[in-house]
Amino acid sequence: MSDLHTLSVAKLIEGLQSKQFSSVELTNHFLQRIDTFDKQINSFITVTKEQALEQAKSADKQLAEGDKRPLLGVPMAHKDIFCTQGVLTTCGSKMLHNFVAPYDATIVKNINEAGAVCLGKLNMDEFAMGSDNESSHYGAVHNPWDLHRVPGGSSGGSASAVSAGFVPFATGSDTGGSIRQPASFCGLTGIKPTYGRVSRFGMIAYASSLDQAGTFGRSAEDCAYLLQPMAGHDPRDATSINKEVPDYVQALQQAGQQASGNDKPLAGLRIGIAKEYFGAGLNADVEKQVKSALKQYEDLGATIVEVHITDPEITLATYYMLAPAEASSNLSRFDGVRFGYRCENPKDLHDLYTRSRSEGFGDEVQRRILMGTYALSAGYFDAYYVKAQKVRRLIVNDFNKAFEQCDVIASPTAPTTAYPLNTAVDPITMYLGDVYTIAVNLAGLPAISMPAGLSDEGLPVGLQLIGKHWDEEKLLSTAHIFQQHTDYHTLLSGIAKQEA
């Protein structure tokens, strides 16, 4: 079957369990697509072909024995920020160009136990620092909708791989929008769960109080299938919360069934709209598509209410004070002695440290380390870092007040569509691409981005829904019902339309 890569995860599961095709056939189909098209996209850093085929053979044997695990035999791939035992784990950096992880991250272990087949490790902005996937040591990733445009970042490799039809779903990480913004740029659905819902053990840290693993898929249903084994308490992660995980797939399907045949399936849902998300800097074409999607939500029975949140410019400044501060601390371990790249023939210890880090880290990583070190220095700690932490508390309070009036908050995911490669030469311009997403991470909230149509140039536009803490179930169901009544999530990129 030449169109296997266009099927939903649910259809792939159905096909595997009904023996329409085998996991080996499915895996080979995706591997062939990677081999044919990824030279144009550059979404993979490492393809684990032999390992994947072994996993697929094992999955076929277990399927033949009646094993009904939903993900058994379904291919996927991991962002190269998650440690994978025996496989290169680079974080998109020269600093870790030869690091083979000696253990699996918790989410990797959980997904393996669910029976999924891992095809490899996906490209990313170096140490997850970037919004366009141009800072990777392994080269820029290209957007499958337009090869001359960025896919977004830092999880651009994950987004491009799903959008190009190389995998049906993939993992990503989100520190300030790094799942949602690439999902928007590549016409996908991407969810960032509540902070603490998914273990960070084995995820190489950028900013520990902001980082959270999540998923990419074409639809909310695709994302739910992968999020299910990822979520849950992990005693190895001190920030993991011991809280029961709902059955996301079942909840989503039940919501869809209840909505079936109902003209107003979302009656009673209150969607909060903040004028702060629709101000200066928002592209007119993006605004038009997002407001059109919100009108469709109203047609489905939802009520639009006005809410107020912290000015995005304030959240942007807060984020770019706190995230680099945490990065400067987390990345101090990469010094050429304990971990990471070591320079050639150092003259002394000072030369070893200086050259190893300046040669091993790219410009964007060095920039953020310097910003963070400055903010944490003795003369500026109270004036910058402590003040930013106080503002972070106010951001949480503003969200709590807004949620007293609504169930979810809607906004554009990004102020623009995917922009051309090599155009974000000014770091501030790149940072502004996260203006609608970073508040979610500062508050530890869950959020989902889903396709809301195409711009006049034919580029995807994303709609973001923000939920209350631990309310991933509501976000997935709200997105799923919308996707049952629209076809934006079914639109394929130019690469995905091509047969290998």
Residue with tokens 């684990």: 48
- CB neighbours of residue 396 within 10 Å: 16
43 is catalytic: no
Task: Give the neighbor-by-neighbor strand order of the sheet with 408-412.
Answer: 44-47, 117-122, 75-79, 169-174, 212-217, 189-192, 447-454, 460-466, 408-412, 270-274, 303-307
Question: How far is Cα 303 from Cα 186, in angstroms, rounded to an integer?
Answer: 29
Q: Is 411 a catalytic residue?
A: no
CB within 8 A of 278, min separation 6: which ones? 287, 411, 412
- In three-state secondary structure terms, 154 is coil
Catalytic residue at 154? yes
Return the amino acid letter for 478: T
Question: Which residue type occupies 412?
Answer: P
355 CB neighbour count, 10 Å cutoff:
18
* Surface-to-core class of residue 50, CB atoms within 10 Å of its CB (0-12 exposed, 13-18 middle, 19+ buried): exposed
* Per annotation, catalytic residue among 79, 109, 192, 474: 79
The Cβ of residue 270 has, within 10 Å, a number of other Cβ atoms equal to 16
Cα-only R_g, the chain: 21
| Catalytic residue chosen out of the listed positions 154, 173, 356, 493 | 154
Here the tokens at position 95 are 């600093």
Catalytic residues: 79, 154, 178
